[in-house]
């Protein structure tokens, strides 16, 4: 029998949406209101909504809310009263992972993007009427969007693992873990940087740390991006797979 | 159905059948409930109900028409009457006699009580 | 159908809850799984569903390891846990989002049972009492029509009329293709349904016999004074009930409570007699 069926994935996505409908609706509503207000206030001073301003707001809400949704769709997984029923649903682990990821990453992004753009247009129109701001719709579509998405798609799997791994204070623990990890990597990079650049005598004189970091960023950017991209994205999904496989009630 | 703790449940189901046949709730040649229906009625494992059906079939009280169900035998009533009479004579009556003896109740006394009861029923 | 071989289990940093368990569950039976509190009944059911992993040994459903939680295995098993939480949606929505995972699910049967349990499809599950939630899950579990239906203390939380309803429903669904396992300490509620008894004691299987074998070999009741055979087990109270070797006495109904106490008190004696009768039959 097949252990990977798109039909079951579809069923599982539908199940998550039906079960968390009120969470999703409330979250998205709050998000829309915030986007509208931020966009509107941004237009008060300079009478325009720039790309930076819009996508700043967009990302500020998009990423944390995505993380919250990720945690909410994994609630059953760690709830000792609910997970016996949940884990005995006949659906394989790759299917579970695929459907959860699809819901929290793809589906959420699509819905949120559409809502955000509609809200942006409304805010703009409102701004034009009330504040006589410029109607600059192009600021809702830009390359910035993909950067925000990239960050989310890399960070989200990490929180997905956190949502699976911890039973209580899941968000707090995941953030703490992420913080420690970031610290370790900074230190590690600093060491690497020191080793690689020792000969340049950067540490001998009055080199400023920030200057050093700038150089590191330039040096490691290509390699580092791949390294962290891989670490946070796909590898985390693999970790999530094994965490789910080994899960007991 | 409330069960008596000492008698095997399947025999209690058999008794339930006997009673239905004796009071003519189930007439001769009439179709009776299925195994599953009886199991549900008395809240028992279907295997227990099957045992009761087999027991009755062995005694010739009921018979199975393939694909249709179980029926009371054409002489079902007479058979049950004989079985229950025998049971009464062999098992209940000796106990009654023992009690009569123990309590020193004469046969005449018993006869009077019996007649009185009969009269009241009329 | 489901086989447990040399199974050991313990929770992290604690003693063994289950030790060298060997059990075989076959279709057409209703198993009663008994044991004192904390003797690992729930743990065993969870292992059978693949929710806990054995430390040693296997739990195989038609040859497949349950711990892998493969779809093909999970299709055939449904567990009604003792304590559980259902989503805060209506019964109808719950059926819609959950039943699609079970290929043999019967909507008709589910709604019939819901009606029989005096619930309405529009009831929101989170607003129901615990007993009512249990009925929803029992109805759902039955309607999945899985080959294996495991129930952990199903009558806990049910009122007296509901218990009778439950027995009726169970009697109606039991058939030769289905294997039902009911764990309980409320022996009285279910004794007419069960046809095979398993007793766990001291983390081990103390007893595993079909009831017809038990009623063949043992006699239950108040022994008369002229009874020659020595009781295998008797309740200490005056005129108390006892278990005797049946020999040529009339068959009695198995008194499960007495059997349970007897097995805890004198497991070797009882098992010896039953195995004896088994051997006799083989000759």
> What confidence tens digit (pLDDT) does each residue in C176-217 have?
899 999 998 888 888 889 999 999 998 999 999 999 889 888
Is residue A17 within 8 A of residue A24, CB to CB? The reply is yes
Chain B: nearest CA to C216, how far in angstroms? 11
Average pLDDT of every residue of chain A: 83
Which residue did the predictor score with more confidence, C188 or B71?
A: B71
- Between residues 41 and 70 of chain B, which touch chain C (CB distance below 8 Å)? 41-49
Give the mean model confidence (pLDDT) for residues C143-170.
93
**Residue in C closest to A12 by C-alpha:** C97
C-alpha C15: how far from its chain's center?
Answer: 24
- In tens, the pLDDT along B32-68 reads 999 999 999 999 999 999 999 999 999 999 998 888 8
How high is the pLDDT of residue A196?
Answer: 67
Instruction: Compare CB distances from C89 to A18, A79, A248 and report the shortest one's residue.
Output: A18
Percent of chain A with pLDDT over 70: 83
Of C218, C161, C215, C214, the closest CA to residue C189 belongs to C161
Mean pLDDT of A213-242: 72
pLDDT digits (tens, 9 = 90+) for C62-76: 999 999 999 999 999
> What is the pLDDT of chain C when averaged over all its residues?
89
Stretch C25-44: mean pLDDT:
92
Q: What does pLDDT average to over chain B?
A: 89
Q: Are the C-beta atoms of C103 and A113 separated by less than 8 Å?
A: no
Res. C51 pLDDT band, cuts 50 70 90: very high
User: Rounded to whole angstroms, what are the CA distances from B97 to A100, B88, B93, B102, B111?
Assistant: 79, 12, 6, 8, 13
From A161-175, B35-49, C30-44, C249-263, the region with the lowest mean pLDDT: A161-175
pLDDT value at residue A20: 93
- What pLDDT was estimated at residue C29? 94
Domain spans of chain C?
A: 2-86+145-202, 206-282
**Residue C253 to residue B3, Cβ atoms within 8 A:** yes
Quick one: average pLDDT of A56-78? 91
The residue among C11, C47, C50, C51 with the most chain A CBs within 10 A of its CB, best to mutate, is: C51
Among A72-86, A189-203, C92-106, the range scoring the smallest mean pLDDT is: A189-203
d(CA C263, CA C207): 7
Averaged pLDDT for residues C10-23 = 90
> Are A136 and A49 spatial neighbours (Cβ–Cβ below 8 Å)?
yes
DSSP-assigned letter for residue A139:
G
**C122-136 pLDDT tens trace:** 999 999 999 999 999
Average pLDDT over residues C250-257: 86
Which band of pLDDT confidence, cut at 50, 70 and 90, is reported for residue A177?
A: confident
Q: What is the 3-state secondary structure (H, E, C) of chain C?
A: CEEEEEEEEECCCCCEEEEEEEEEECCCCEEEEEECCCCCHHHHHHHHCCCCCCCEEEEEECCEEHHHCCHHHHCCEEEECCCCCCCCCEHHHHHHHHHCCCCCCCHHHHHHHHHHCCCCCCCEHHHCCHHHHHHHHHHHHHHCCCCEEEEECCCCCCCHHHHHHHHHHHHHHCCCCCEEEEECCCHHHHCCCCCEEEEEECCEEEEEEEHHHHHHHEEEECCCCCCCCCCCEECCCCCCCEEEECCCCCCCCCCHHHHHHHHHHCHHHHHHHHHHHHHHHHC
pLDDT of C96 > 90? The answer is: yes
Closest residue of A to C54, CA-based?
A: A248
What is the CATH number that goes with domain C2-86+145-202? 3.40.50.300
List all residues 6 or more positions away from C127 whose beta carbon is below 8 Å from its beta carbon. Answer: none
Q: Is pLDDT of C283 > 50?
A: no
Lowest-pLDDT range of A199-208, C124-133, C151-160: A199-208
**Pick the residue with more confidence: B39 or A231?**
B39
* Measured distance CA(A77)–CA(A93) in Å, rounded: 12
Residue predicted with more confidence, B108 or C240: B108
Chains C and B touch (3+ CB pairs under 8 A): yes
Strand ranges (E), chain A: none
Contacts of A54 (CB under 8 A, 6+ apart): A39, A42, A120, A139, A140
Residue C198, classed as helix, strand or coil, is strand
Q: Which residue has the higher pLDDT, C51 or C277?
A: C51
Verify whether the Cβ–Cβ distance C69 to A87 is below 8 Å.
yes
Question: Which residues on chain B are in Cβ contact (under 8 Å) with C221?
Answer: 6
Task: Name the residue with higher pLDDT: A185 or B53.
Answer: B53
What's the pLDDT score for residue A167? 75
Contacts of A5 in chain C (CB under 8 A): 71
Task: Determine what percent of chain C is predicted with pLDDT higher than 90.
Answer: 62
Taking the CA of residue B91 and the nearest CA in chain C, the distance in Å comes to 13
Question: Among C91, C101, C146, which would you mutate to test the A interface (most chain A Cβ atoms within 10 Å of its Cβ)?
Answer: C101
**How large is the C-alpha radius of gyration of chain A?**
22
Is A15 in CB contact (< 8 Å) with chain C?
A: yes
Q: What is the pTM of this model?
A: 0.85
CA distance A211 to A214: 5
pLDDT attached to residue C249: 82
Q: Is B97 left (phi over 0), alpha (psi -120 to 50) or beta?
A: alpha
């Amino acid at each position: 029998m097949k252990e990977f069926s798109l039909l079951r994935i579809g069923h599982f996505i539908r199940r998550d949406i039906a079960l968390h409908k009120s969470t999703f609706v409330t979250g998205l509503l709050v998000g829309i209101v915030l986007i509208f207000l931020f966009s509107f206030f941004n237009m008060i001073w300079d009478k325009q909504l720039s790309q930076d301003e819009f996508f700043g707001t967009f990302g500020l809400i998009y990423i944390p809310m995505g993380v919250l949704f990720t945690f909410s769709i994994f609630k059953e997984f760690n709830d000792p009263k609910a997970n016996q029923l949940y884990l005995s649903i006949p659906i394989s682990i790759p299917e579970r992972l695929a459907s959860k990821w699809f819901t929290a990453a793809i589906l959420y992004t699509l819905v949120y993007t559409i809502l955000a753009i509609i809200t942006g247009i409304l805010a703009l129109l409102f701004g034009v009427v009330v504040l006589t701001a410029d109607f600059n719709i192009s600021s809702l579509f830009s390359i910035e969007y993909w950067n925000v998405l990239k960050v989310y798609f890399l960070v989200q799997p990490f929180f997905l693992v956190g949502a699976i791994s911890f039973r209580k204070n899941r968000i707090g623990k995941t953030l703490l873990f992420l913080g420690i990890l970031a610290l370790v990597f900074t230190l590690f990079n600093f060491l690497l940087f020191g080793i690689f650049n020792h000969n340049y005598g950067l540490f001998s004189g009055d080199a400023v740390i920030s200057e050093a970091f700038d150089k590191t960023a330039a040096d490691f950017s290509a390699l580092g991006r791949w390294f962290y991209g891989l670490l946070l994205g796909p590898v985390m999904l693999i970790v999530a797979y094994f965490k789910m496989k080994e899960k007991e009630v | 159905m409330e069960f008596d703790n000492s008698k095997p449940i399947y025999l209690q189901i058999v008794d339930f059948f006997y009673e239905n046949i004796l009071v003519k709730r189930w007439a001769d040649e009439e179709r009776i409930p299925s195994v599953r229906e009886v199991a549900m009625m008395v809240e028992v494992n279907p295997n227990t109900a099957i045992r009761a059906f087999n027991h009755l079939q062995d005694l010739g009280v009921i018979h199975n028409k393939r694909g249709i169900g179980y029926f009371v035998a054409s002489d079902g009533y007479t058979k049950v009457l004989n079985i229950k009479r025998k049971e009464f004579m062999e098992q209940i009556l000796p106990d009654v006699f023992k009690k009569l003896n123990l309590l020193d109740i004469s046969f005449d006394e018993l006869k009077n009580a019996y007649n009185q009861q009969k009269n009241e029923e009329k | 159908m489901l086989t447990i071989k040399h199974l050991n289990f313990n929770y992290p940093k604690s003693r063994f809850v289950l030790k060298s368990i060997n059990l075989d569950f076959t279709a057409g039976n209703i198993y009663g799984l008994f044991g004192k509190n904390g003797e690992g009944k729930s743990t065993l059911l969870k292992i059978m569903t693949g929710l806990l992993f054995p430390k040693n040994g296997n739990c195989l459903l038609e040859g497949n390891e349950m711990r892998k939680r493969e779809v093909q295995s999970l299709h055939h098993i449904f567990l009604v846990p003792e304590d559980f939480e259902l989503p805060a949606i209506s019964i109808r929505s719950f059926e819609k989002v959950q039943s699609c995972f079970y290929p043999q699910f019967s909507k008709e049967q589910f709604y019939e049972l819901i009606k029989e349990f005096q619930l309405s499809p529009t009831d929101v599950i989170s607003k129901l009492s615990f007993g009512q939630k249990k009925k929803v899950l029992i109805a759902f579990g039955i309607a999945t029509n899985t080959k294996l239906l495991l129930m952990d203390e199903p009558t806990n939380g049910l009122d007296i009329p509901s218990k009778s309803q439950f027995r009726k429903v169970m009697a109606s669904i039991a058939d030769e293709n289905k294997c039902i396992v009911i764990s309980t300490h409320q022996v009285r509620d279910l004794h007419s349904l069960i046809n095979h008894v398993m007793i766990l004691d001291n983390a081990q299987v103390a007893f595993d016999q079909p009831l017809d074998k038990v009623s063949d070999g043992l006699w239950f009741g108040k022994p008369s004074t002229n009874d020659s055979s020595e009781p295998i087990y008797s309740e200490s109270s005056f005129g108390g009930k006892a278990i005797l070797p049946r020999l040529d006495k009339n068959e009695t109904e198995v008194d499960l409570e007495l059997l349970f106490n007897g097995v805890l008190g004198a497991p070797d004696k009882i098992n010896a007699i039953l195995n004896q009768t088994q051997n006799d039959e083989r000759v």
